Structure 1
Amino acid sequence: MKKLTKHTFGTLAFASAMTMSLTAAHADTWRYAFEEALTEVQGVYAQKFKEEVEANSDHEIQLFPFGTLGESADIMEQAQAGILQFVNQSPGFTGALIPEAQVFFVPYLLPTDQEHLARFYKQSKAINEDFQDLYANQGLELLKMYPEGEVAMTTKEPVKTCEDLNEVKFRVMTNPLLVESYKAFGATPTPLPWGEVYGGLQTNIIQGQENPTFFLYSTKIYEVTDHITYTGHNNFTTAIMANKNFYDGLSEEDQKVIQDAAAVAYDHIVTYQKGLAEQELAKIKEAKPEMTVTVLSEEERQCFVDAAAEVEAKFIEMTGDSGKAILEQMKADLAATAE
């Protein structure tokens, strides 16, 4: 056996230090902001994404839940500027930036069946190909879109028909097509950032809002409204994106780590959401027994279904041939993923 000399130990120490230095040089800290709390759907997705990236690379992900870096508009600006490497945001907020993304707010386009939705988001050509270029034009690399659950209306007065929304100031995201949807439904749409919604309902500045069931419980919106109504008109969609300059500058290996992490987190969040709406609705009923929960019959929701045609026409008017092509492709994708 060769004797280890003082010189040998010195050489080994130098080599070890160089290896550590090279590793550190390639290990980066990436920042990722989203619109919800760590315990909500986007937060659960983000944590799984972080876990996968860190398990398969030397990089670290820092997570920034809602409110830590501002409102939705703020984190999008930071992502486009490269301050953030990743951002998770609903097309409800990116609709003004990418008009075609408003297609997710055409009423009754998306089914309520969660398994159909899971197949659709995973296999859709519109989502996985067509939207890529639209997001890239805004400096964003679209990684994944995924569902967060059927949208429910929460109001101060019961809703059984469109007439019940007459003169109701209904909070909507700052999304032009969502404004048109609630106009068509008979309400007075009132765009507000999320941070103002609880107080707005509490002080009667607004009298209604919409969100997935889990969000109604986690944000305690049920405390300041009295009725939950399921009209079947939409399913909440969200998307994780990367700053495109950042993403394009990565090695193929790192890009694959990110794509794989996004895919694993997608499967994780789809499984996580099974039964979630029912569980959270039960918690709402326990916390506020007097809360009424109504699922509209086909006859009761007919006025909302009729209004959908008007909203779809508005979408095409807003987005032209590009929007029309996206809409037609989505309809084809939905048909192809139905069972």
Structure 2
Amino acid sequence: MNSILKSLKTLTAAMVLGTVPLSAYAEDWKFAIEEIPGSIMDAYAQEFKKRIETKTDGDVTITIYPMGTLGTPTDTVEQATDGLIQFTNVSIGNLGTIVPESQIFLLPYLFPSDAKAVSNILSNSETIYSDLNEDFRKRGLEVLTMYSEGPQVWTTNKEIRNPDDFSNFKMRVMVSPILLETYKNMGASPTPLPFGEVFGALQLGAVDGQVNPVPTIEEMKFYEVTDYLIWAGEQELVTTVVAGTDWFDTLSPDRQKLVRETMAGMSGFIDGVVSDFNQKRLDTIKSNKPEINLVVLSEEERNVFRARSEATASAYVDSAGSRGEELLKTLKTEIASTHQ
């Protein structure tokens, strides 16, 4: 049944992709994103498109497929491995069933709170672009870049300041074993739901809260159906742009260099976009809903959740094995040296 469903999804995607007119002379690279037009991912894809098309004098064109156009984020990853599309930008949380080792970036309180330090790690980490990329390549994927969309923020129907407040609280999370473990350890009842169903679930009370960066909360109007925005400092929303190895490995060295250098040169651009989006979207939320409650947990309050989260690292090692343990050790060393 699963193989039939996958075949139908692949056929549907192929039909959609086949409707794009191609120039007789241009290569058309297809770039899927899991967010809507006007989002951070859209800004990234649009800038990449502009730079590539300019550098190649139009010999390469890029078509962008926003949220839902080609199916779920997991579908687009499979399409990249199958060579139907060239790039997809997905949140790490959506890769849990494909590359379990990647869930290291979902571990709570792993990253420092300084945005520049986080950007430096995600842009330059040897652990990511050498060690972890080996695990991606085993699944037919090439890691081209990673960046953060900013700190994760809880939107909830009540104030949450300690694990007891999470009792019988249904927190929507992405379908990731580590996220399920994270919120279970924090005291909540984690509830995986497709992204497109979150607003309705909050509105109807099927879930009591969800977690996303501020720009996503504003774009998807989650603040309209919740009462609190809570900064607990536990995670960054890390996203990655990947390509299928079957396609990427067939590119000429010059084309591979073009892709890598273009994305490497965009770290400053996307950092500025993320900072701008987070501030402006928060201003919009406060303007549209002045009565919204903004809560920033104190360091003492965060330490309680931090202590409860230690078991999540053990769960990651259990799921990713000795390989995960090795990656966690080397990444923590990199983070410590970067944050000195």
TM-score, scaled to structure 2: 0.90
Give the letter aligned to residue 83 of structure 2: G
Q: 1 CA distance for matches of 2:334 and 2:91? A: 20
Q: How does 1:196-235 map to 2 (within 5 A)?
A: 196-235=197-236
Pair 1:133 & 2:127 matched: no
Q: 2 CA distance for matches of 1:255 and 1:315? A: 33
Following superposition, the deviation at residue 120 of structure 1 comes to: 1.1
Does the aligned pair in 2 maintain the 1:71–1:195 contact within 8 Å? no
Does the aligned pair in 1 maintain the 2:80–2:244 contact within 8 Å? yes
Pair 1:55 & 2:54 matched: yes
- In the alignment, what sits opposite 2:38? 39
Does the aligned pair in 1 maintain the 2:156–2:209 contact within 8 Å? yes
Q: 2 CA distance for matches of 1:229 and 1:59? A: 43
Does the aligned pair in 1 maintain the 2:81–2:246 contact within 8 Å? no
Does the aligned pair in 2 maintain the 1:35–1:66 contact within 8 Å? yes
- In the alignment, what sits opposite 1:297? 298
* CA offset digits 1:109-165 (Å, max 9, x no partner): 012210111111122111121111111111111100111100011111111111111
* CA offset digits 1:283-322 (Å, max 9, x no partner): 1111011110100011222221111211111111111110
Query: For structure 1, which segment, 254-263 or 179-188, has the greater mean C-alpha deviation from structure 2 after superposition?
Result: 254-263
Following superposition, the deviation at residue 281 of structure 1 comes to: 1.3
Q: 2 CA distance for matches of 1:266 and 1:245? A: 26
Give the letter aligned to residue 278 of structure 1: Q
Q: Which structure would you say has the larger Rg?
A: 1
- In the alignment, what sits opposite 1:261? 262
Pair 1:71 & 2:69 matched: no
Query: For structure 1, which segment, 76-85 or 283-292, has the greater mean C-alpha deviation from structure 2 after superposition?
Result: 76-85
Give the letter aligned to residue 46 of structure 1: A
Pair 1:317 & 2:318 matched: yes
Following superposition, the deviation at residue 74 of structure 1 comes to: 1.8
Following superposition, the deviation at residue 26 of structure 1 comes to: 5.8
Q: 2 CA distance for matches of 1:255 and 1:123? A: 18
Give the letter aligned to residue 36 of structure 1: E
Following superposition, the deviation at residue 264 of structure 1 comes to: 2.3
- In the alignment, what sits opposite 2:273? 272
Q: 1 CA distance for matches of 2:37 and 2:339? A: 32
Following superposition, the deviation at residue 275 of structure 1 comes to: 4.4
Q: 2 CA distance for matches of 1:300 and 1:131? A: 33
Pair 1:187 & 2:188 matched: yes
Q: 2 CA distance for matches of 1:245 and 1:73? A: 18
TM-score, scaled to structure 1: 0.90
State the secondary structure of the residue aligned to 2:160: coil
Point out where structure 2 has 5 or more consecutive residues left out of the alignment.
1-22
Instruction: Output the aligned Cα RMSD.
Output: 1.3
Does the aligned pair in 2 maintain the 1:111–1:235 contact within 8 Å? no
Point out where structure 1 has 5 or more consecutive residues left out of the alignment.
1-23
Following superposition, the deviation at residue 83 of structure 1 comes to: 0.9
* CA offset digits 1:206-257 (Å, max 9, x no partner): 1111001111111111011110111100111000011111111111111111
Does the aligned pair in 2 maintain the 1:49–1:264 contact within 8 Å? no
